[in-house]
Amino acid sequence: MTTQNLLVELFVEELPPKALKKLGDAFAGVLAEQLRALGLATAESVVTAYASPRRLAAHISHVWRKADDKAVQQKLMPVSVGLNAAGEATPALMKKLQALGADLSDPLAAVAALKRAPDGKAEALFYDSLVTGATLDTGLQKALEEAIAKLPIPKAMTYQLETDCELPGWTSVNFVRPAHGLVALHGSTVVPVKVLGLKAGNTTHGHRFEAAVDPVVLRDADSYAVTMEIDGAVIASFAQRKAEIARQLADVAAELGGGVQPIEDDALLDEVTALVERPNVLVCAFEQEFLDVPQECLILTMKANQKYFPLLDADGKLTNRFLVVSNISPEDASAVIGGNERVVRPRLSDAKFFFDQDRKKTLASRVAGLDKVVYHNKLGTLGERMRRVGDIAYQIGMKLAVVEGDSTLAIHAQQAAQLAKADLVTDMVGEFPELQGTMGRYYALNDGIRQDIADAVEDHYKPRFAGDELPRGEVGLVVALADKLETLVGMFGIGNLPTGDKDPFALRRHALGVIRMLVEKDLALSLDTLTQCAASEFKGITGFEYGRAVVELKDFIYDRLAGSLREQGFSAQEVDAVLALRPQCLSDVAKRLTAVRTFAALPEAPALAAANKRIGNILKKAQEVDPHVSELLLKEPAEIALYAAMKDIVPQANAQFDAGDYAASLQTLAALRAPVDAFFDGVMVNAEEIDLRLNRQGLLKSLHDAMNRVADLSRLAA
């Protein structure tokens, strides 16, 4: 028996565009998975998913008409339960065999055919049977029902279908959109399956207006894509349709000349691909006067509201032309072009109106309006929040001042913080929330505010997501740090912490933003100082717990940092060793990790790490240990030698550490391996004489402190 290729298509009303690709992939994937599980498809079967606005389809190669029969062995029960003392079948065994469909016309023969095999301490009876392989008719029915049940439907619709029986009536169906047709072809043979009140056939429908024939008759499974394109005027493959749109966009832009390019936006391209069945890219234009409006506003309204592709010139500036992906290809496209130009004009007019109206008031005059906006019922208004951010920014600015006591950066950062959220009460941001910060910068520049402060108004939101750029200037960096720290400290202080996958205030993202700014900008700021500085601004707020805000927040930040470092390729052991010390300056964590990695490669590293772990255990059992060492109490040659080696080596290592050369510091300490090994071989630390014991513990304490300045080396022990 040979295999043939299978095609299944579900013809529906227009599917939700943002979910189309996932729906298409899930439909084909689950269908193939179920057929493989039933033995009807092979591991070599190739699955091709199709998804257009009005159809979900799957082409699966190498599908059997009937799966092979399978020999199955089933455990029945222990021999002691299934057979009596005379070796005859008990009622329990006979009942089990009957349930399995065994031939009991000759009970003795049926029992004799059972196999005995050890099962743990006892012996059990096993029944061999041959399970008939599934047919494609029944297998595809099951697979199709499973594929529909597992579709990632964003929101299902309920609609009515007339019952397919002698008695008139209606039945309710739940699906993403009303379904109107089902195709199931194995080769050229229709597979008689039913789903959603539909019977499978070999006909479907093409483009609403441009199909050459209706209905479209499919000759066989393999002719689906070609037949749909020729007879149905539909590019059924999502990937091919997306590629065709991208090609047309590039070609049309090239024909216009002048170096213009359509804006790159993969999410928009996916959405438009899900809206058309046969794309046709057309050039449209709007009046030049609209270009006086910030291009971010125009681009956003064209993309979000109209699904257009704005055209940018060679310098990245918006032009007054844009591209439309039409679903029809008339000989004279002027009506389509004119209609799209007419539709976009009111949108652009609204943007221009909002921009003109907003500029009639200064950004500073809007700050008072933030006191009417509730930020959080426990943390006050947005105005109160931004005053806290301003004070935090001032303190950070003073700590980063190039010249001690110079308050220029601090003052500018505080001014920027005061203006940072003022654009939230403008008409433009009220209409387009995505433009918050961006419009604030435009309005600040319009008011004659300094460039670095205006930039900070926009940049204080950065980084908005993983991989996003950091603020472009010092003022923006300080305000962004202050803004994120205020959010983190405030939410931790009132116990509003992220749980599981819920993080409504994006605290994880804010923590990673703080880490990135401290690390990538190499800021010599203590994490303790930053959290305490922010927490001090919440004094007097009911329900705010200072300790929780500082302690738990620092643990949270170190956890985020650990995850980020592991993603960058550092091992969990290396990260654990460095972060165990809770380094205050996050900007030197990477240098510490590199030093630890270099140290771990040295031949002395394993022995020193093990010795460090041993020293740590000894010191834990002792009471508070004074690292002071008296040379007069050093008796054993090994402890005298270790002390002498430390007097020579530790000052060198400390000087290298203080100079920031962590790798050299650890390499210098590696020379202590021999005297440390000799010490543990020849010296009893917990001597009976109290003076000797305390002196030796002090020696180990000073050694432990010296060895663990860069990282907790005991974490490197196997």
pLDDT at residue 167 greater than cutoff 80: no
| Average pLDDT of the residues in 337-361 | 96
CB 544: neighbour CB atoms within 10 A?
19
The more confident residue out of 401 and 300 is 300
The token duo for 58 is 């799957």
Report yes or no: 561 and 533 within 8 Å, Cβ to Cβ: no
Nearest to 303 by CA among 325, 282, 288: 325
Q: Indicate if 50 and 75 belong to the same structural domain.
A: no
- CA 138, CA 64: separation in Å to the nearest integer? 12
Q: Indicate if 277 and 390 belong to the same structural domain.
A: no
The token duo for 151 is 């579709």
What is the reported pLDDT for 117?
83
Helix (H/G/I), strand (E/B), else coil: 152: coil
Beta strands of 341-490 (E only): which ranges?
Answer: 374-376, 380-381
Q: Name which of 43-52, 98-107, 284-293, 705-714 the model is least confident about.
A: 98-107
Which class for 469: exposed (0-12), middle (13-18), buried (19 or more C-beta within 10 A)?
Answer: exposed
How does DSSP classify residue 192? Answer: -
Q: pLDDT band for position 14 (50/70/90)?
A: very high
CB 714: neighbour CB atoms within 10 A?
21
Q: Indicate if 656 and 511 belong to the same structural domain.
A: no
Q: Is residue 198 part of a domain?
A: yes
pLDDT tens digit sequence for 118-153: 887 788 888 877 667 788 899 999 999 999 999 999
Q: Is residue 585 part of a domain?
A: no
Q: Name which of 86-90, 186-190, 593-597 the model is least confident about.
A: 86-90
What is the reported pLDDT for 130?
67
Q: Indicate if 352 and 369 belong to the same structural domain.
A: no
What is the reported pLDDT for 155?
87
Q: Indicate if 266 and 144 belong to the same structural domain.
A: no
What is the rounded end-to-end Cα distance, in angstroms, of the chain?
Answer: 58
What is the reported pLDDT for 1?
61
Q: Indicate if 261 and 213 belong to the same structural domain.
A: no
Q: Indicate if 218 and 243 belong to the same structural domain.
A: no
What is the reported pLDDT for 163?
63
Q: Is residue 581 part of a domain?
A: no
pLDDT at residue 71 greater than cutoff 80: no
pLDDT at residue 102 greater than cutoff 70: yes
- Domain endpoint, select from 98, 131, 164: 131
Which class for 375: exposed (0-12), middle (13-18), buried (19 or more C-beta within 10 A)?
Answer: middle
C-alpha separations of 475 from 43, 425, 507, 517, 528 in Å = 59, 23, 22, 13, 22
The token duo for 464 is 């908005």
Q: Name which of 105-114, 290-299, 532-541, 669-678 the model is least confident about.
A: 105-114
Report yes or no: 144 and 137 within 8 Å, Cβ to Cβ: no
Report yes or no: 281 and 248 within 8 Å, Cβ to Cβ: yes
What is the reported pLDDT for 664?
95
Q: Indicate if 243 and 343 belong to the same structural domain.
A: yes
For 627, list phi and psi in degrees, rounded to 5.
-70, 5
How does DSSP classify residue 499? Answer: B
C-alpha separations of 424 from 50, 89, 189, 369 in Å = 43, 83, 62, 9
* Mean pLDDT across the chain: 92
- CA 712, CA 579: separation in Å to the nearest integer? 8
Q: Indicate if 501 and 409 belong to the same structural domain.
A: yes
- CA 418, CA 428: separation in Å to the nearest integer? 19
| Average pLDDT of the residues in 92-112 | 79
Q: Considering the entire predicted model, what is its pTM? A: 0.81
The token duo for 31 is 């269908």
Q: Is residue 422 part of a domain?
A: yes
Q: pLDDT band for position 372 (50/70/90)?
A: very high
pLDDT at residue 395 greater than cutoff 60: yes
Q: Is residue 577 part of a domain?
A: no
pLDDT at residue 480 greater than cutoff 70: yes
Highest mean pLDDT (candidates 74-78, 622-626, 708-712): 708-712
Q: Indicate if 696 and 672 belong to the same structural domain.
A: yes
pLDDT tens digit sequence for 422-458: 999 999 999 999 999 999 999 999 999 999 999 999 9
pLDDT tens digit sequence for 644-655: 999 999 999 999
Place of tokens 């030796």: 696
What is the reported pLDDT for 718?
66
- CA 490, CA 544: separation in Å to the nearest integer? 8
Domain count, the chain: 5
DSSP 514-578: HHHHHHHTT----HHHHHHHHHGGGTT-TT--HHHHHHHHHHHHHHHHHHHHHHTT--HHHHHHH
| Average pLDDT of the residues in 221-235 | 96
What is the reported pLDDT for 169?
59
For 506, list phi and psi in degrees, rounded to 5.
55, 45
Q: Is residue 576 part of a domain?
A: no
pLDDT at residue 403 greater than cutoff 80: no
Amino acid at 201: G
What is the reported pLDDT for 413?
97
Q: Is residue 584 part of a domain?
A: no
Q: Indicate if 473 and 503 belong to the same structural domain.
A: yes
Q: Is 293 left (phi over 0), alpha (psi -120 to 50) or beta?
A: beta
What is the reported pLDDT for 332?
94
CATH number of the CATH domain containing 658: 1.10.730
Give the H or E element holding residue 488: helix 474-493
- CA 436, CA 422: separation in Å to the nearest integer? 9
pLDDT at residue 564 greater than cutoff 70: yes
Q: Is 525 left (phi over 0), alpha (psi -120 to 50) or beta?
A: beta
Q: Is residue 196 part of a domain?
A: yes
pLDDT tens digit sequence for 626-647: 888 888 889 899 989 999 999 9
Q: Indicate if 79 and 156 belong to the same structural domain.
A: no
What is the reported pLDDT for 166?
54
Domain extent at residue 457: 364-569
Report yes or no: 701 and 619 within 8 Å, Cβ to Cβ: yes
Percent of the chain with pLDDT over 90: 75
